Amino acid sequence: MDEPEVAQLQGRLDHPWIVARRHELAENIQRLRRTIERARAKVVRQVVCHRDFGGFNLLVDGEQVTAILDWDQAILGPREHDLWMAAEGDRGELFLAEYGARDLDLDHIEYALLARALRDMAARVLSDTDRPGVDTWGPGESPSWTATWRCTVHSAHDSCPDGTHLPPHGAGVYG
């Protein structure tokens, strides 16, 4: 859970594209450090993580995934580190249900979401590319996603503590 790009970003908080938001970025970098400390203190199941498991790296025939491409960033790590992509789509709950995502660790999920957002910001700022992406960037969690993650992590059943129901495993995300 080393983040060299984020460390470089911290040294560039005076960059003209982000100087007005430097306090927000500094707070999120500190939040990431605290999250890393909590996550490192936990023992979680290790799996092969793709680390860039998004739509551009999936070959799909109808609703069936036929191949996963671009494995050059793959690592052995907590499964939560690949689930950031579920937060970026409009079918995240279905993805989590299909994945069988139960009993996930919130600290590792927070790490994955926050690290991904800060790495993306660092890539843009450090290379001086995609100013519009810098202007719209933000690691914030929507209330609905926060509820979905908490429900998924704490529920061992198909219903959440608040009485809502997640789609059953195999609910048709990928066939």
Q: Which residues neighbour 19 within 8 Å (Cβ) at sequence distance 6 or greater?
A: 13
Q: Name the E strands within 69-151.
A: 75-78
**Beta strands of 18-175 (E only): which ranges?**
46-49, 58-61, 64-68, 75-78
147 vs 59, higher pLDDT: 59
- Give the per-residue pLDDT at 90: 65
State the CATH class of domain 4-154. alpha beta
Q: What pLDDT shows up at residue 168? A: 40
| CA–CA gap between residue 42 and residue 8 (Å, rounded) | 27
Question: Contacts for 68-76 with beta carbons within 8 Å, 24 or more apart?
Answer: 74/48, 74/49, 74/50, 75/48, 75/49, 75/51, 76/46, 76/47, 76/48, 76/49
Predicted TM-score (pTM) of the model is: 0.73
User: 18-72 pLDDT, tens per residue?
Assistant: 999 999 999 999 999 999 999 999 999 899 988 777 778 888 898 888 998 999 9
Q: Return the domain boundaries, the chain.
A: 4-154
| Per-residue model confidence as pLDDT tens digits over 85-134 | 666 666 666 777 777 767 788 889 888 888 888 988 999 999 998 888 78
Give dist(CA 43, CA 27) in Å, integer: 26
